[in-house]
C-alpha cells in the first residue's frame, strides 16, 4: 500500500489524515486549537500550540493507521492562510503570538495605504484589495510593536512565515525556510504575475527581505521531516493554503470550475487558468495551487463568518449544546419567519469589503423563536456564498466567459443537507458534495503525491474525484431573487448605508 500523510492546520483545530493512493481516508486525528482574544477585533494563536497539536495529531494518525512513518511516501501540508508568525532563526522561538487572519488590528495601516492612493498598485501586482486580512500589514504591526523586532529583522535574525512555513521549519528542525506560491500570494507582498517577492511592496510596508521564505510551486521538494519528529525522515512534497488546496482536492483544474468550502469562514474559488483577471465586483485574484513554475490563477471571495455562526449559536446564545444539533432546530420551523441574520462579527468580506459592518438580526416579531434565528443563521451562510457566486458570474461575463454552472462543496458544514439545498435554490445551479469532503487535506496529499511520483498528473487525479450527492435547485428563480434582495437590504442596514 502507498500512503500519503496530510497535515491540515486550520483556524480552530489541527488535523492529520492518512490517505491511500486512491484518496480514501485510512486514519485521522484532530485536536482543538485554543483561540486567544486580547481585545475586540484581535485574534491570536500560540505558535507553539500550533506545532504541538499538529505534531501530536500526525503521530496519532500514524498510530491509528497502524503504520510507521517509513511507510509514508510523502507529507502534504495545508494551512489557515494569512495567519502571521515571526520567530527567531537561532532559537526557533516565536517573538509574539501568531496574528490570525481574522484579526483587524492592522486596519489603520491599511487605511493609510488606501489614503495614499496605492490600491491600484497593490491590486495590479498581488490581485488583492488592501485589507487587514492579509499578512503584510500584520507583519508590519509585529515589527513596529514587539520591542527590538525591527532591529533584529534588519540584522537577519528573524524569520517570517505563514503557518505552512512555521510547520516546515519545525518539521525539518530549522533546515528549510520555505513557502509555496498559494500562501505567498496571500501576503500582499508577492507579485503573482512574476511569482516573486516584490521590492516596491516590501518598501511600502518597510519589510526587510531577509525575513522572507523561499517560494516554491505547491508540488515541490520542501525538504524532509527530521527523523526525530515522526520517527523517520519523510519527504515533504506538497504545500498549499487551505482554499487553494481544497480547489485542488476538488479536481477543479481548469478554467470555470468552482468550489466553496464551508468552514469557520466560507471561501469560494473559481479557477481562471493562466489568465490574471482583475475583478470589478469586489473579488480577489489569487494564485491557484501550482504544480510547476507556470502561474495559474483563481478568483476568490471570502466570507469571514460561515460555520462560526453556528459556534456563536452554541457558545454565545447557548441555543444549542452541540453544533450538530443546528439542523434539527432549524428544520423544526418551515422557514426563518422573515428573520435575516447578517453575521458581520468582524466586518464583511467579499464582495462587500465593509470592515466597519457589525452583526445584525432583522425581521424579529413576537412570534420569533430560537428555531427561526437558527434557521436564519444557517441561511446567512448560503446568502453570503450566493453573493460571491453572483459576483463571480458578473466577472466571468465581463471577461467573455460564462457563469459557473456547478458548485463543488466541502468543509464541515457541507454535511448539512438543509444548508446545501438552500444554497442550490439561491444559486439555481447544482451543488455537488463529493464522497470525500476532507478535500482540503486531500488536495495537500495529492500535491505531495504528484511531487513524489505517486501520480502521473492531474488527469489521473480528476479520475479519482467522485460525487456523493447532487443538490438540484427546487425554488423558482423569482423567489430566489426576492430572497437575495431581502438579504442585500439587511446588509445595507448592517453597514449603516
Range of the domain at 195: 3-242
Q: Answer whether residue 449 is part of any domain.
A: no
Low-confidence ranges of the chain (pLDDT < 70): 497
Return the CATH number at 102: 3.30.420.40
What are φ and ψ of residue 286, in 5° steps? -135, 160
Q: Answer whether residue 121 is part of any domain.
A: yes
The β-bridge partners of 158 are 88
Q: How far is CA 3 from CA 53, 220, 448, in A?
A: 21, 18, 11
Q: Answer whether residue 351 is part of any domain.
A: no
Residues 6 or more apart from 468 whose CB is under 8 A from it? 433, 434, 435, 437
Q: Answer whether residue 177 is part of any domain.
A: yes
Q: Answer whether residue 143 is part of any domain.
A: yes
Q: Answer whether residue 294 is part of any domain.
A: no
Does residue 30 contact residue 14 with C-beta atoms inside 8 Å? yes
Q: Answer whether residue 278 is part of any domain.
A: no
pLDDT at 289: 95
pLDDT at 393: 86
Q: How many domains does the chain have?
A: 1
- Percent of the chain beyond pLDDT 70? 100
- In this structure, what C-alpha cell is assigned to residue 254? 481548469
> Model pTM?
0.88
Amino acid at each position: 500500500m502507498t500512503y500519503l500523510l496530510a497535515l491540515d492546520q486550520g483556524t480552530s483545530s489541527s488535523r492529520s489524515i492518512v490517505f491511500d493512493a486512491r484518496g480514501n481516508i485510512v486514519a485521522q486525528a484532530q485536536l482543538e486549537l485554543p483561540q486567544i482574544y486580547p481585545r475586540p477585533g484581535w485574534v491570536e494563536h500560540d505558535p507553539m500550540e500550533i506545532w504541538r497539536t499538529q505534531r501530536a495529531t500526525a503521530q496519532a494518525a500514524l498510530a491509528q493507521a497502524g503504520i510507521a512513518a517509513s511507510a509514508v511516501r510523502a507529507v502534504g501540508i495545508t494551512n489557515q492562510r494569512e495567519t502571521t508568525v515571526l520567530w527567531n532563526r537561532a532559537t526557533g522561538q516565536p517573538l509574539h503570538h501568531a496574528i490570525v487572519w481574522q484579526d483587524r488590528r492592522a486596519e489603520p495601516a491599511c487605511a493609510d495605504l488606501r489614503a495614499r492612493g496605492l490600491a491600484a498598485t497593490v491590486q495590479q501586482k498581488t490581485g488583492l484589495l488592501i485589507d487587514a486580512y492579509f499578512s503584510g500589514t500584520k507583519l508590519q504591526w509585529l515589527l513596529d510593536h514587539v520591542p527590538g523586532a525591527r532591529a533584529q529583522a534588519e540584522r537577519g535574525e528573524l524569520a517570517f512565515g505563514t503557518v505552512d512555513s512555521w510547520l516546515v521549519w519545525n518539521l525539518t528542525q530549522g533546515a528549510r525556510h520555505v513557502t509555496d506560491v498559494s500562501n505567498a500570494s496571500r501576503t500582499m507582498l508577492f507579485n503573482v504575475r512574476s511569482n516573486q517577492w516584490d521590492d516596491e511592496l516590501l518598501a511600502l510596508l518597510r519589510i526587510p527581505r531577509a525575513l522572507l521564505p523561499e517560494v516554491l510551486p505547491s508540488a515541490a521538494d520542501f525538504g524532509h521531516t527530521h527523523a526525530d519528529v515522526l520517527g523517520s525522515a519523510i519527504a515533504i512534497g506538497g504545500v498549499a493554503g487551505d482554499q487553494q488546496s481544497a480547489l485542488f482536492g476538488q479536481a477543479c483544474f481548469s478554467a470555470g470550475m468552482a468550489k466553496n468550502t464551508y468552514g469557520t469562514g466560507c471561501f469560494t474559488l473559481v479557477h481562471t487558468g493562466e489568465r490574471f483577471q482583475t475583478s470589478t465586483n469586489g473579488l480577489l485574484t489569487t494564485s491557484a495551487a501550482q504544480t510547476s513554475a507556470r502561474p495559474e490563477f483563481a478568483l476568490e471571495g471570502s466570507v469571514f463568518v460561515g460555520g462560526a455562526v453556528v459556534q456563536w449559536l452554541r457558545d454565545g446564545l447557548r441555543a444549542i449544546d452541540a453544533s450538530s444539533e443546528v439542523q434539527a432546530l432549524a428544520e423544526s420551523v418551515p422557514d426563518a419567519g422573515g428573520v435575516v441574520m447578517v453575521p458581520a462579527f468582524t466586518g464583511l468580506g467579499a464582495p462587500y469589503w465593509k470592515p466597519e459592518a457589525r452583526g445584525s438580526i432583522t425581521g424579529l416579531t413576537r412570534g420569533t423563536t430560537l428555531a427561526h434565528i437558527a434557521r436564519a443563521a444557517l441561511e446567512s451562510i448560503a446568502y453570503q456564498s450566493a453573493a460571491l457566486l453572483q459576483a463571480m458570474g458578473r466577472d466571468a461575463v465581463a471577461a467573455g466567459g460564462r457563469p459557473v454552472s456547478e458548485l463543488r462543496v466541502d468543509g464541515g458544514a457541507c454535511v448539512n443537507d438543509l444548508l446545501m439545498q438552500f444554497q442550490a435554490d439561491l444559486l439555481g445551479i447544482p451543488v455537488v458534495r463529493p464522497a470525500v469532503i476532507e478535500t482540503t487535506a486531500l488536495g495537500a496529499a495529492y500535491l505531495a503525491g504528484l511531487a513524489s511520483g505517486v501520480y502521473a498528473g492531474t488527469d489521473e487525479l480528476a479520475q479519482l474525484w467522485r460525487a456523493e450527492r447532487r443538490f438540484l435547485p427546487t425554488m423558482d428563480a423569482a423567489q430566489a431573487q426576492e430572497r437575495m434582495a431581502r438579504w442585500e437590504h439587511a446588509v445595507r442596514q448592517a453597514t449603516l448605508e
